[in-house]
Amino acid sequence: MSLERPIRIGVAKCGNIGTSVLLDILLDERAERGDIIIRSVGSGPKLTPEEVREVVGKLLDFKPDLVLLASPNAALPGPTAGRELLAEAGVPTIVITDGPGRKAVKDIEAKGMGYIIVPADSMIGARREFLDATEMAIYNADLVRVLACTGVYHALVEAIDKAIGGLKAGREPELPRLVLGRDEAVGAARFSNPYARAKAMAAYEMASKVADLTVEGCFKLKEWERYTQVVAAAHELMREAARLADEAREIEKYGDTVFRAPHNRKGILLSKTKLVEKPKKPEG
């Protein structure tokens, strides 16, 4: 028996990752959906256990039907504490995290939660000699572009929509257990041109590689001249990944084959490929 009322989606953002930056907007990109209500609560850049607990607590006040808990490295104490609170509350939860978050999968699964892990969502070059608000924003712009153009966001929306669909149908929602690696992402992007797909795959790999450099620059190197140089290299690498991912999309524009999947008011994902064409409902 399907629910009459809109599904309440609660988004907890604890610390910043590229996947969470637009998380509360991705599900209803034109603010038109009548089938969901979105609320988000966040702790800004920090994610201590106290802060995550406070954030999750407030989010529970909204009585969410589904919670998206987004953070870097879901295995850290903060996100872990958040999951405990959510498990106690018994709210269906999808953990959204980056590559290091893989370490939390066992715990997540044990709690009956879903997860979406994005290895390309590499850590920023968080060194004071390098990272100010402007550089941070530019890095996020590059990262968002990579995630968008390589298909990560679309895959994520599909997975969450599926869970929402279960809730709307009055069923126990099917929670994703999804590592959005190169092939999963690019598959979701539905490229028509195989070179666009190849470039997107390369871009995804580049974005994933960034984490090796930022981890080196932030945690391994001690000499400031060296780590500054390495985190700068990491951001240049993400910038190129963004450029290449963008080119992949341009190729599809050149062929007028850009895949678009807008939601309609009822929350159904329509799709189209020609620019001047009405989006259509999925068949079947």
Q: Distance between CA atoms of 132 and 205, rounded to whole angstroms?
A: 26
Contact with its own copies (CB under 8 A) among 205, 215, 268, 273: 205
- Residue 256 CB partners (closer than 8 Å, separation 6+): 273, 274, 275
| Closer residue to its own copies in complex, CB, 16/107 | 16
Contact with its own copies (CB under 8 A) among 98, 100, 237, 267: 237
Scan residues 58-77 and list those touching its own copies (CB under 8 A). 58, 61-62
Residue closest to 238 by CA, chosen among 158, 156, 114, 121: 121
Q: Distance between CA atoms of 67 and 86, rounded to whole angstroms?
A: 8
* Contact window for its own copies (CB under 8 A) among 63-71, 88-96, 145-153, 173-181: 145-153
CA atoms 107, 108, 109, 111: torsion sign: positive
By CB under 8 A, residue 91 contacts its own copies:
no
| Closer residue to its own copies in complex, CB, 27/108 | 27
Contact with its own copies (CB under 8 A) among 75, 148, 180, 185: 148
- Residue 203 CB partners (closer than 8 Å, separation 6+): 146, 149, 150, 241, 242, 244, 245, 248
Scan residues 31-50 and list those touching its own copies (CB under 8 A). 31-32, 37-47
| Closer residue to its own copies in complex, CB, 37/87 | 37
Scan residues 168-197 and list those touching its own copies (CB under 8 A). 189, 193-195, 197
By CB under 8 A, residue 219 contacts its own copies:
no
Tell me how far, at minimum, the Cβ of 222 lies from its own copies, in Å.
Answer: 15
Residue closest to 110 by CA, chosen among 77, 147, 84: 84
Q: Distance between CA atoms of 84 and 246, rounded to whole angstroms?
A: 39
